[in-house]
Amino acid sequence: MKSIATAVSTINVPFHGAELYVVNHNGEPYTPMKPIVEGMGLDWKSQHKKISQRFSKGMVEITIPSAGGVQAMICMALRKLAAWLNSISPNKVRPEIRDKVIQYQEECDDVLYEYWTKGHVVNPRKAKKALPGKITTEQQEAIKQLVMSRGQSLPKEKQAKAMITMWSSLKSHFGCSYKEISEEQFTEALSLAARVPLEGEFIGKQEKKTNELSAKEANSLVWLWDYANRSQALFRELYPALKQIQSNYSGRCYDYGHEFSYVIGMARDVLINHTRDVDINEPDGPTNLSAWMRLKNKELPPSVHNY
């Protein structure tokens, strides 16, 4: 955990009788964890230990003005909150707080993010309702339970990272929150969440198949991979400037520039596996040799200004 910092600004967020907060730390939203843990009816001491052990990379101690004066609070990056919320199994908590735990899991991170971006929330209970044309609440729950069950099947020290990996893969693949996935993509979402490779999970030895793609098909996918790779480089260059002006988009910019490296790396490995026998001298072979070189060498473009 990092050393004590002072919040640049603090937003009070009323949430089902509790007083939560969103604070600006280096241009990124963080939220104090003790009010959330106690609002759910959980024991702060045990959760503090769990958070410190499994989510330490997204934590910082921040001094925040409150009714009782300035207090130092343990805060989590808002982008990590959903993973922590979903690491709690409602079936393992006391029956009298189960509904409250589920309520926080369904709404809390969405409400905090709306206060961070808009300063208010139109309908605090909207997360419980399915959006028109999107997956139902039952389908949302099915995806969430799949992510939780896969994550919780791993050793404790691997669970948090695994859940973050699955949620990031879903968001990266569909370009939206899992609650906003369209109805016809539900089966695809389940399939993706079920097959994302996780660190610490046993995967049986499989025979690798190569040369399943034509040179033309492989070239199209390499182009797509290279655009994702270059976009990542662009977000990395933009982040310091957005952070400097305290833009609300700086946190997302950091995520896109760093968090998606894992997915881009996985895509690279898949492409290399399926293009080992592709003849780049074929008439329909690669037309962007620099992209192929970046793919093979696993490198970012030298500068976004050279595109």
Map tokens 């008439």 to a residue: 283
* pLDDT given at position 104: 92
Question: How distant, in Å, are the alpha carbons of 15, 41, 76, 95, 127 from that of 102?
Answer: 14, 11, 20, 11, 11
Report yes or no on whether pTM surpasses 0.85.
Answer: no
pLDDT in tens, 110-125: 888 888 877 765 544 4
Q: Is the pLDDT of residue 162 over 90?
A: no
Count CB atoms within 10 A of the CB of residue 125. 12
Q: Are 271 and 225 in contact (CB under 8 A)?
A: yes
* pLDDT given at position 251: 79
- Compute the chain's Rg from CA coordinates: 21
Q: Are 219 and 4 in contact (CB under 8 A)?
A: no
Map tokens 């843990």 to a residue: 37
CA distance 56 to 157: 11
pLDDT in tens, 228-278: 877 878 888 888 888 888 888 887 787 777 766 767 777 777 777 777 666
CA distance 225 to 300: 11
* pLDDT given at position 80: 87
